[in-house]
C-alpha cells in the first residue's frame, strides 16, 4: 500500500470508480460524502469498505482504507483531495471543505465540468483559506463508467490520457509530477479555462436532453446517445460546438471539435464524416442507458454549470453564442428555473467586471494574495 493518501469526495459512479481504481493501484484511499448521502456511505461500509469494479480490466473487489461522512477525518493528512461529483454540489462541498483547509493541501476537481476550479477557488478566497492551498482541475474523468449497484461500478473506458491545469496556472508545472504519479499520462493545459472549454458534455448532453424532453421523461428504455441523437439533433450539437470553439479561439485555445475529441479520448473508435456517424461507431455510447427524467445531471449540471459559462465568456469576448443562449433559455423554461442567474455566472467564477485580457491574467496569476 502506498503511503500517499488520497481523499475522494463524492459517492457517484465516477467517485466510486476512481476510488476503487486508485486503491487497486496501491494508493491509500479515503471516500467521503455528505450526510445527505449516508445510505451510499453505509452501503459501502457494510460491504467491508469495498468497491466492486467490473468491465474493462475486470478488477474485482477493492477495499478502501476509509469510508466516512466525517470530512475532518477524511481529509486529514491527505496528499490530494479530489472532488468527483456533479457541479451543483461543488459550492456546498467547497464551503464545508474550507473549514478544514490548511496550507499545503491540494484540491482538484475531476472533472471540473466548466469553471469548477474557479468556483471553488473563489469560495476558498472568500473564506480566507486560499493562501497556500493548491487548486486545479482535470479536463475529464479518467474513467467512463456507470453504477451497477450500491457498491459496484462498471468501467467502460479508461481514457488514454488526461489534461490538467492549476489555478493559478503558474503552479501547473510544479504540481504535474505528483499528478502523473497518480494518474499516469496527464498533460498540462495553459489554464483552467482551457480545461473548462474542453468539456464535451456541453455539446453531448444539454442539446440532446432539450430536444428529446418528451422522450426522456418517464421512459425506462431511454438511450441518450442511441435514441436521442438523430442527424438533425447532431446539427444542433455542432452549432453549440462551433460557439464553444469560437469562444476558446478568442481566448487563445485550440479546442477540438466534439467528434475528434471523442475519438482522441477513446469513446469513439474512428472519425467519420460527421458527428452523428462518428457517435454511432461507439459501442459505449450506443449501449449506455440514458436519463428517465429531466431532473438529471445532463440537464441540471450541464446547462447552468457548463453551457452557461460559454455564454458568459462569449459576452466578455464579444463572440456571439445565439444557439447556446437559446438552449439555456429553453431549458430554463423546461425546468421552471432561471439558469441565467442560478448557475456559474461571472460572479461565481470570480471574473465579474473583467475583460478578456484581465481574465487571462487572472488565470495565470490568481488572486492578488497569490501573486
The Cα–Cα gap between 23 and 369 comes to 36
Question: Which of 108, 78, 109, 107 has the alpha carbon at shortest distance from 2?
Answer: 78
pLDDT tens digits, residue range 226-276? Answer: 999 999 999 999 999 999 999 999 999 999 999 999 998 888 999 999 999
Per-residue confidence (pLDDT) for residue 266, from 0 to 100: 84
The Cα–Cα gap between 58 and 199 comes to 28
- Give the confidence band of 1 by pLDDT, cuts at 50, 70, 90: very low
SS (H, E, C) 146-203: EEEECCEEEEEEECCCEEEEEECHHHHHHHHHHHHHHHCCEEECCCHHHHHHCCCHHH
pLDDT tens digits, residue range 327-349? Answer: 999 999 999 999 999 999 999 99
Kindly report the average pLDDT of the chain as a whole number. Answer: 93
In the block, cell 435514441 appears at 227
Is residue 242 packed enough to be buried (19+ CB in 10 Å), middle (13-18) or exposed (0-12)?
middle
Per-residue confidence (pLDDT) for residue 26, from 0 to 100: 93
Four-residue CA torsion sign, 205, 334, 36, 153: negative
Per-residue confidence (pLDDT) for residue 369, from 0 to 100: 66
The Cα–Cα gap between 143 and 3 comes to 23
The Cα–Cα gap between 181 and 188 comes to 14
pLDDT tens digits, residue range 189-223? Answer: 999 999 889 889 999 999 999 999 999 999 999 99
- Helices 231-250 and 308-317: angle between axes, nearest 10 degrees: 40
- Give the confidence band of 56 by pLDDT, cuts at 50, 70, 90: confident
What cell was used for 94? 467547497
Q: What percentage of residues in the chain have a pLDDT greater than 90? A: 82
Question: pTM value?
Answer: 0.89
What cell was used for 65? 482504507
For residue 139, the Cα-to-chain-centroid distance in whole angstroms is 7
The Cα–Cα gap between 369 and 2 comes to 34
Neighbouring CB atoms inside 10 A of 175's CB total 20
The Cα–Cα gap between 42 and 128 comes to 33
- Give the confidence band of 146 by pLDDT, cuts at 50, 70, 90: confident
Question: Which of 263, 254, 259, 255 has the alpha carbon at shortest distance from 273?
Answer: 259
* pLDDT over 60 at 31, yes or no: yes
In the block, cell 499528478 appears at 179
* pLDDT over 60 at 370, yes or no: no
The Cα–Cα gap between 55 and 57 comes to 6
pLDDT tens digits, residue range 295-313? Answer: 999 999 999 999 999 999 9
What cell was used for 323? 444557439
Amino acid at each position: 500500500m502506498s503511503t500517499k493518501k488520497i481523499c475522494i469526495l463524492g459517492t457517484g459512479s465516477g467517485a466510486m470508480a476512481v476510488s476503487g481504481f486508485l486503491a487497486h493501484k496501491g494508493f491509500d484511499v479515503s471516500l467521503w460524502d455528505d450526510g445527505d448521502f449516508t445510505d451510499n456511505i453505509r452501503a459501502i461500509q457494510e460491504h467491508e469498505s469495498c468497491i466492486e469494479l467490473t468491465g474493462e480490466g475486470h478488477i474485482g473487489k477493492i477495499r478502501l482504507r476509509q469510508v466516512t461522512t466525517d470530512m475532518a477525518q477524511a481529509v486529514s493528512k491527505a496528499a490530494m483531495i479530489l472532488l468527483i461529483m456533479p457541479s451543483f454540489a461543488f459550492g456546498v462541498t467547497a464551503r464545508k471543505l474550507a473549514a478544514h483547509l490548511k496550507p499545503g493541501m491540494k484540491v482538484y476537481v475531476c472533472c471540473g465540468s466548466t469553471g469548477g476550479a474557479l468556483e471553488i477557488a473563489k469560495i476558498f478566497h472568500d473564506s480566507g483559506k486560499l493562501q497556500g492551498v493548491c487548486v486545479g482541475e482535470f479536463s475529464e474523468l479518467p474513467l467512463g463508467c456507470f453504477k451497477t449497484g450500491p457498491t459496484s461500478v462498471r468501467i467502460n473506458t479508461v481514457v488514454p490520457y488526461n489534461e490538467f491545469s492549476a489555478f493559478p496556472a503558474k503552479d501547473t508545472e510544479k504540481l504535474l509530477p505528483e499528478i502523473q504519479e497518480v494518474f499516469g499520462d496527464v498533460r498540462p493545459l495553459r489554464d483552467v479555462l482551457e480545461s473548462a472549454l474542453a468539456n464535451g458534455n456541453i455539446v453531448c448532453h444539454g442539446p440532446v436532453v432539450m430536444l428529446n424532453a418528451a422522450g426522456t421523461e418517464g421512459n425506462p428504455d431511454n438511450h441518450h446517445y442511441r435514441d436521442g441523437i438523430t442527424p438533425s439533433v447532431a446539427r444542433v450539437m455542432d452549432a453549440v460546438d462551433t460557439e464553444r470553439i469560437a469562444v476558446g479561439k478568442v481566448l487563445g485555445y485550440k479546442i477540438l471539435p466534439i467528434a475528434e475529441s471523442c475519438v482522441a479520448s477513446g469513446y469513439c473508435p474512428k472519425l467519420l464524416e460527421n458527428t452523428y456517424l462518428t457517435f454511432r461507431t461507439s459501442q459505449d455510447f450506443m449501449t449506455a442507458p440514458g436519463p428517465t427524467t429531466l431532473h438529471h445531471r445532463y440537464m441540471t449540471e450541464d446547462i447552468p454549470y457548463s453551457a452557461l459559462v460559454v455564454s458568459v465568456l462569449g459576452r466578455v469576448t464579444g463572440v456571439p453564442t445565439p444557439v447556446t443562449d437559446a438552449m439555456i433559455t429553453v431549458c430554463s423554461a423546461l425546468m421552471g428555473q432561471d439558469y441565467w442567474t442560478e448557475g456559474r455566472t461571472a460572479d461565481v467564477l470570480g471574473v465579474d467586471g473583467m475583460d478578456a485580457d484581465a481574465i487571462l491574467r487572472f488565470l495565470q496569476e490568481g488572486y492578488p494574495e497569490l501573486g
